Amino acid sequence: MSDISDSDVGALEDVRREQPRLEALVRRILEEADSSGATAAEVGVSHDTGLSVSVRKGEIETVEFNRDRGFGITVYFGQRRGSASTSDSGDKAIRDTVRAACNIARFTEEDAFSGLAEAELMPDPASAPELDLYHPWDIAVEEAESLALECEARALGFDERIGNSEGANAGTSQGCRVYGNSHGFIGGYCSTRHGLNCAVIASEGDDMQRDHWYTVARDAGKLESAAAVGDKAGERAVARLGARPIDTRQAPVVYVAEIAGGVLGHFIAAVSGGALYRKASFLLDALGKQIFPTHITIDERPLLPGAMASAWFDGDGVATRPKAFVRDGVLESYSLGTYSARQLGMETTGNAGGVHNLFISTGGKSRTELLRAMDTGFLVTELMGMGVNMVTGDYSRGAAGFWIENGEIQYPVQGVTIAGNLAEMFKGIVEIGADVDTRGNVQTGSILIEEMTIAGN
């Protein structure tokens, strides 16, 4: 066990007091950039603390306590750009890092699209919304250890066929981020993230199957219980016993909510500015076109209180705003930061650094009802490999799950590949289940796709 005292762990509660210090640090770094001759600069600083306790087979394995601070700076000399970063915030480190960024900028080629976002796009810090992202968890090492042990014990005791464990982990982290640029904008926010996870191995004869479950939240009071996480991990591992391949065929597919967000992640990647201006997307020139069925709407809610990816400004300091990427199946917006927007001759959408809280419209069916609607097909619970070509949309990934007949699970499946084309998969979405997974940046229910190729025996 690491040598950590309760007083060290209690320091996790004080991250918010760092924000004024980080704002002052941003000003100091921007002043150094100005005095070094830069015509413009932007700085991002962060301060993070965390506690993580891992156990395995009833014994504590690791206790980790982290405290990190660092900054990154980008300077501009006209339209020449240079960037540098460091984990040290001392005066010498500031001078050296700014000097390094300036030296890089002086030797780079001019880029007509580089530079800060327009000042008028920055939000007013005085009117920053309350996003309810900060809920510190005053948990001691012993309490975190107890939770992890309870979670693992519950999973191991779920079924006599569960005889081994990859361990359980309980953790809490806090962070504060501040961004500023030479327009005079400085904005920041603090946030927390807490979690509990467990993975176990079930066996029957020569068959061994592993599975896991986890819970994560801004507020520890919203985490699933240790018992619930353990039970779910055990249930999932046992359910996979006896898995086998199936014959190659065309069939409907349901992606469970826990992995369905990845399907939407491919959509966002395809409409992101970097892929578009490099002409590396199968959705080039798709703006205003029907790319999903009419019952599909996909919108972004960056100002949603308490959500896992809320933010009131993006990586360029541009104000974020709620918007629809897809409405009634039609692509209404790309996902653009300042640089990619200029490359495309468009305006930034406030998505430098990615999207914030993506939601897809759902129907009223539970997962059970969705399987009944599918009748016969493949329920996908795990994906492996990264066989996705974003230029053509061709999609091929290893998969495991369950074969469904008459709307009921028949047996577990493994050793198959599911394949299709993302453009056709999007248009072939029959329905989205009401079983929304709220743990990540992309929130969706299970997705039923009309037909895909399942390659097996």
pLDDT value of residue 15 = 84
Specify which residues 425 forms β-bridges with: none
Mean pLDDT of the chain: 95
| Range 6-237 classified under CATH 3.30.420.40 | no
Return the domain boundaries, the chain: 6-237, 243-457
What's the CA gap between 335 and 323, in Å, rounded?
11
- Checking if the pLDDT of 409 tops 80, the result is yes
Residues 6+ apart with CB under 8 A from 278: none
Helix/strand/coil for 323:
strand
C-alpha torsion 307→366→427→388, nearest 10: 60
What amino acid occupies position 441? Answer: N
Question: Cβ(271)–Cβ(358) under 8 Å?
Answer: no
pLDDT value of residue 14 = 76
Categorize the per-residue pLDDT at 227 as very low, low, confident or very high, splitting at 50, 70 and 90. Answer: very high
Q: Which CA distances in Å does 225 have to 74, 151, 197, 419?
A: 44, 8, 11, 37
Residues 6+ apart with CB under 8 A from 222: none
**Phi, psi for 413 (deg, rounded to 5):** -130, 140
What's the CA gap between 41 and 34, in Å, rounded?
8
pLDDT value of residue 13 = 53
List the beta strands (DSSP E) in 144-232.
Answer: 162-181, 186-204, 207-217
Residues 6+ apart with CB under 8 A from 438: none
Q: Which CA distances in Å does 9 have to 144, 170, 184?
A: 11, 14, 36
Question: Cβ(37)–Cβ(102) under 8 Å?
Answer: yes
pTM for the structure as a whole: 0.92
C-alpha torsion 127→132→134→138, nearest 10: 140
Q: What is the pLDDT of residues 40-78, one digit of tens each?
A: 999 999 999 999 999 999 999 999 999 999 999 999 999
Tell me whether residue 161 is exposed, middle or buried, using C-beta atoms within 10 angstroms of its C-beta: 0 to 12, 13 to 18, 19 or more: middle
Neighbours of 62 (CB within 10 A): 13
Q: What is the pLDDT of residues 335-380, one digit of tens each?
A: 999 999 999 999 999 999 999 999 999 999 999 999 999 999 999 9
CA nearest to 192, candidates 240, 136, 143: 136
CA nearest to 422, candidates 268, 318, 231: 268
Average pLDDT rounded to a whole number, residues 326-334: 98
Beta-strand relationship, 59-77 and 40-56: antiparallel
Both structure tokens of 358? 């993506």
What amino acid occupies position 18? Answer: E
Q: What is the pLDDT of residues 6-44, one digit of tens each?
A: 444 444 557 889 999 999 999 999 999 999 999 999 999
Both structure tokens of 259? 């992995």
pLDDT value of residue 12 = 59
pLDDT value of residue 191 = 97
What's the CA gap between 137 and 435, in Å, rounded?
28
pLDDT value of residue 386 = 85
Neighbours of 110 (CB within 10 A): 10
Question: Cβ(153)–Cβ(230) under 8 Å?
Answer: yes
Q: How long is the chain? A: 457
